[in-house]
Structure 1
Amino acid sequence: MILTTLRQSRPARRPSRRLTTWALFLVLVSLLTTLPAVALVVTAGGRAEAHGTPMKPGSRTFLCWEDALTDTGEIKPVNPACKAAQQAGGTTPFYNWFSVLRSDGAGRTRGFVPDGKLCSGANPNFTGFDIPRNDWPLTHLTSGATVDFSYNAWAAHPGWFHVYITKDGFDPAKPLTWDDMEDTPFLEADHPPLHGSPGTVEANYSWTGRLPANKSGRHIIYMVWQRSDSAETFYSCSDVVFDGGNGEVTGIHDPGNPTDPVPGKCEATRRTTNSWSGGYQSEVTVTNTGDVPMLGWMVDWTLPGGQKAASLWNGSATYDGQDVMVHNADWNGSLSPGQSTTFGYVVSGDGGDTATSLPCRVG
């Protein structure tokens, strides 16, 4: 399959790894204009692996993070809408640009997410990104063009992507409601392939599809990512304008091409709190070891042979044989630098566990 990419044009700067890839758009787009103008469902042999947000076209949280990031890693937004989001919710949502999620979403949209809260998914940490304004960072597109959609892959989860768009006449200066959205997605992706290593800014999964035809002016592309292994669902708004563009982004400050930082760090330590013949109980302490606040964490490890998790509390777990992945619960994901929380679990099986350190990622 031939893929195109949305190319982002910025003021003069040193080329980044992402921009060198996006420049392929001009060469390839002419080869793709003959593809059928239909919504595309992508099915791949691999699993969709993501915990993130759209990068092409960039979501409000992603582009505002890029706008606000300084050479020192501090958050200082320049774009007026991004500034308003910071005033409403502080800088924590900027460091956690990949975490606009609802743990109870189960893929639900209309009737679940209230009008006026679509961009945050009604997640109170991101209400600043629901503010109706016409000066959010903007991606310039061509109606009916075939392009590559890219979604950051911060952590590994299988799932589907549903891509909606606003109706003609949408006004970005008014609160976004479900009546503003087209009733059905114009494109859906079923477990698209992963590119790169999760836990980095560059990691992404992508799929090719055609943009809606006969669109002009301002719109919002609304993406819903629904995990297939849990009820966790991600929501995002990407502000676009159909004006003949090829993916250029305007309204964003160029921070001088800094090195992409890891948005926070965490550490997980395990200890056995009780044991008996045929099982044991453990406690895991998760600590924010970075210098920025975080809104969520995940710990994953493999239990020793012959063992199985029987129960777990203070976290949301996904099991695949002896592989265990634990996300924070709704009440213990927000950790300031140096702050810790715990979760516990019971294992059935002989042998205990000697591990004292477990892999931990922010997300």
Structure 2
Amino acid sequence: MSVRTTLRRAAVIAASAAAVLTTGLVESASAHGSVSDPISRNYGCLQRWGSDHLNPNMAATDPMCAQAWKADPNAMWNWNGLYRENVGGNHQAAVPDGQLCSGGRTQGGRYAAMDAVGAWVATTKPRQFTLNLRDEAQHGADYLRIYITRQGFNPLTQPLTWGSLELVTSTARIAPGPNYTAQVNAGNRTGRHVLFTIWQASHLDQPYYICSDVIFS
């Protein structure tokens, strides 16, 4: 291979990478939010690997994020855009079993990798804790509905379904701001679980569907 061909290929690769990054930044600038604690799947991947996403060690140390980056890097750059529109409150009809973490493969399937079953990095929490949601656009919330998987569900081997979840917290309306909180009581749960948050934004009929992985100590 000639030096000229090698340089041309390197330029194409660099331009492609820049395009992905630029697209992510432009969309993020006008986008919305996600659960920051316990951190959501794609936001967690961005926090851990955003500046190091080409590191080959990701596959060995954080395989669920590795498969997500490979599937669609914009799912991480646009960590705050996992929403649907005009659902009319009928969340179970809009989001099928096995697709809860991608919002029913919303945004053209951009977030489909979030539905992958496996050992996502989990946040250790006590059974009673405060959930934090970051709202960059300050849309407000008609409500937050927070679900946790039932004891006995195994997120390492089972896809997330509505039947595997139990509603544990539902908030009243929350005024627009940069951060929203909700008190969560996990009951007698122990071990690894999935926490599923529905954030119904107030500015439009725009619900967000957010999966966070937790270990109750």
Fold-level similarity (TM above 0.5) = yes
How many residues were matched structurally?
177
Equivalent runs, 1:117-128 vs 2, <5 Å: 117-122=99-104, 123=106, 124-128=109-113
Give, in whole Å, the separation in 2 of the partners of 1:66 and 1:76: 14
Q: Please give the secondary structure, in 2, of the residue aligned with 1:53.
A: strand
Using the aligned pairs only, state the percent identity. 31
Task: State yes or no: 1:140 paired with 2:124.
Answer: yes
Query: CA 1:67 to 1:76, structure 2 compared with 1: closer, same or farther past 3 Å?
Result: farther
Aligned pair partner of 2:89 in 107, 121, 131 = 107
> Per the alignment, do residues 186 and 153 of structure 1 end up closer, same or farther by CA in structure 2, a change over 3 Å counting?
same
Counterpart of 1:228 in structure 2 is 202
1:20-64, CA deviations, whole angstroms, 9 ceiling, x for partnerless residues?
xxxxxxxxxxxxxxxxxxxxxxxxxxxxxx921100111101111
Opposite residue 43 of structure 2, the aligned amino acid is F
Give the Å deviation of 1:109: 2.1
TM-score (norm 1): 0.46
Structure-2 residue corresponding to 1:57: 38
Does residue 205 (structure 1) correspond to residue 190 (structure 2)? The answer is no
Equivalent residue letter for 1:120:
S
TM-superposition CA deviations, 1:169-191 (whole Å, max 9, x none)? 11112211112112xx2112223
Give CA-to-partner distance per residue, 1:146-173, whole Å, 9 cap, x none: x221111110223211111111111112
Gapped regions of structure 1 (runs ≥ 5): 1-49, 196-202, 244-363
Equivalent residue letter for 2:180 = Y
Q: Where do residues 1-363 of structure 1 align in structure 2 (5 Å cutoff)?
A: 51-70=32-51, 75-76=53-54, 78=58, 79-88=62-71, 90-122=72-104, 123=106, 124-133=109-118, 135-143=119-127, 145=128, 147-159=129-141, 160-172=143-155, 173-182=157-166, 185-192=167-174, 203-207=178-182, 209-243=183-217
Higher helix share: 2
Secondary structure of 2:53 counterpart: coil
Partner Cα distance (1:103, 1:52) in 2: 15
CA–CA distance in structure 2, aligned partners of residues 171 and 111 of structure 1: 24
- Contact 2:131–2:184 under 8 Å retained in 1: no
Q: What is the CA–CA distance in structure 1 between the aligned matches of 2:54 and 2:136, rounded to whole Å?
A: 23
Structure 2 distance, partners of 1:149, 1:126, is 22
Larger relative contact order (C-alpha < 8 A, sep ≥ 6)?
2
C-alpha separation in 2, matches of 1:226 and 1:59: 16
Write out per-residue CA displacement over residues 261-305 of structure 1, whole angstroms, 9 at most, x where no aligned residue. xxxxxxxxxxxxxxxxxxxxxxxxxxxxxxxxxxxxxxxxxxxxx
Instruction: Quote the Cα distance in structure 2 between the aligned partners of 1:63 and 1:127.
Output: 16
**Inter-partner Cα distance in structure 2 for 1:191 and 1:231:** 14
Pair 54,76 (structure 1): closer, same or farther in 2 beyond 3 Å = farther
- Which string of whole-angstrom CA distances, capped at 9 and with x for unpartnered residues, describes residues 124-143 of structure 1? 1100110011x211011122
Root-mean-square deviation (CA, aligned residues, Å) is 1.9
Quote the offset at 1:108 in angstroms.
2.7
Q: 1:75 to 1:107 in 2, by over 3 A?
A: farther
Work out the CA distance in 1 between the residues paired with 2:174 and 2:203. Answer: 15
1: CA distance between counterparts of 2:174 and 2:37?
15
Q: What is the distance in 1 between the residues matched to 2:168 and 2:96?
A: 21
SS of match in other structure, 2:42: helix
Counterpart-to-counterpart distance in 2, 1:107 and 1:140: 31
Q: Which amino acid aligns with 2:139?
A: H
Cα shift readout 1:297-348 (whole Å, capped 9, x = no counterpart): xxxxxxxxxxxxxxxxxxxxxxxxxxxxxxxxxxxxxxxxxxxxxxxxxxxx
C-alpha distance in structure 2 between counterparts of 1:215 and 1:138, whole Å: 15
Partner of residue 10, structure 1? none
Task: Measure how far apart 1:120 and its partner are.
Answer: 0.6
Question: Whose radius of gyration is greater, 1 or 2?
Answer: 1
Structure 2 vs 1, CA of residues 57 and 139 (structure 1 numbering), >3 Å: closer, same or farther? same
Structure 1 residues 51 and 107: CA distance shift in structure 2, 3 A: farther
- State the TM-score, normalized to the length of structure 2: 0.75
State the 1:194 CA deviation: 5.6
